[in-house]
């Protein structure tokens, strides 16, 4: 029988991943558990949370080992969801107690996260949430960092590729992040196509924009 302190109607353990999330669901005052897998998308997560709330009513306690990212933002948007953060190292040690090999099984991790929240309420405490504008700002800052990181990775891949078959382009442009660089490489992705281009067409790309007042 559930002994977790708190006015919750249902408890959920979540094992998140990039493309899916494994769930272990247990209703208050019951030992029966359901296992479910949902796809990773904000709409899917939001629809599932709303459906869960309509089914059980009341507050929902969720155990998750991540404190940032799309899944975390989706969970914290709902006032009827209380997030309990599970320390990844604690979960790993708990997993070893049941699996000496330390092998990771996604559905099992969701259930273990739920067990930790129910059995160790003093260690797996409810997360104190910021107000909605602060949470949204934190999410946007995180997404900005990701975009910057993605841009850097894509730029490095492009440079490495150009070194193999279009090295002259790297001599002509000092920065691959310039808009002019992409304007140039789009119509002329290789030296052969560039040689067939009209000189005036190439010059027009570098001419300053005339502003008419």
* Predicted TM-score (pTM) above 0.75: no
User: What is the reported pLDDT for 13?
Assistant: 94
Out of 79, 108, 129, a domain closes at: 129
Predicted pLDDT at 141 = 66
For residue 68, the domain's CATH number is 3.30.420.10
Residues 109 and 156 in one domain: no
Q: How many CA atoms lie within 13 A of 177 on its CB side?
A: 9
116 and 145, same domain (yes or no)? no
Task: Say yes or no: 13 and 114 in one domain.
Answer: yes
For residue 70, the model assigns a pLDDT of 65
> What does the alpha-carbon distance between residue 158 and residue 107 come to, in Å, rounded to a whole number?
38
Same domain, 73 and 34: yes
The count of other CB atoms within 10 Å of the CB of residue 173 is: 16
Torsion sign (Cα): 143, 144, 149, 153: positive
CA 12/CA 110 separation, integer angstroms: 8
Same domain for 113 and 179, yes or no, is no
What's the total number of domains in the chain? 2
Whether residue 81 sits in one domain with residue 51: yes
**37 and 108 together in one domain:** yes
Q: Is 102 left (phi over 0), alpha (psi -120 to 50) or beta?
A: left
Considering 87, 112, 129, which residue would you say is the last residue of a domain? 129
CA distance 41 to 73: 11
When mean pLDDT is compared over 1-15, 33-47, 132-146, the highest value belongs to 33-47
Residues 106 and 144 grouped into a single domain: no
Query: Per-residue pLDDT for 159 more than 60?
Result: yes
Same-domain pairing of 202 and 152: yes
List alpha helices for the chain, DSSP H: 42-56, 70-76, 88-98, 106-119, 132-165, 167-172, 179-185, 191-196, 199-206
181-194 per-residue burial string, b: 16 or more CB within 10 A, e: under 16: beebbeebeeeeeb
Query: What mean pLDDT value characterizes the chain?
Result: 80
122 and 164 housed in the same domain? no
What is the domain range of residue 49? 8-129
pLDDT band at 26 (very low <50, low <70, confident <90, very high): very high
Residues 21 and 116 in one domain: yes
Q: Are residues 45 and 103 in the same domain?
A: yes
Structural domain includes residue 62: yes
């Amino acid at each position: 029988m559930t002994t977790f302190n708190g006015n919750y109607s249902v408890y959920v353990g979540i094992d998140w991943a990039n493309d899916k999330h494994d769930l272990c669901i247990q209703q208050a005052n019951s030992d029966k558990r359901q296992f479910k897998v949902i796809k990773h998308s904000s709409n899917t997560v939001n629809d599932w949370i709303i459906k869960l709330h309509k089914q059980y009513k009341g507050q929902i306690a969720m155990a998750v080992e991540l404190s940032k990212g799309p899944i975390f933002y989706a969970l914290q948007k709902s006032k009827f969801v209380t997030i309990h953060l599970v320390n990844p190292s604690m979960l790993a040690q708990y997993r070893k107690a049941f699996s000496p090999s330390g092998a990771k099984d996604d559905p099992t991790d969701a259930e273990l996260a739920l067990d930790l929240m129910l059995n160790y309420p003093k260690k797996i405490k409810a997360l104190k949430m910021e107000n909605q504008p602060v949470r949204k700002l934190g999410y946007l800052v995180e997404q900005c960092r990701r975009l910057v990181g993605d841009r850097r990775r894509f730029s490095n891949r492009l440079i490495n590729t150009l070194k193999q078959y279009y090295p002259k382009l790297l001599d002509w442009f000092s920065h691959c992040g310039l808009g002019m660089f992409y304007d140039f490489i789009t119509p002329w992705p290789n030296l052969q196509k560039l040689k067939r281009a009209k000189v005036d067409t190439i010059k027009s790309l570098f001419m300053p924009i005339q502003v008419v007042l």
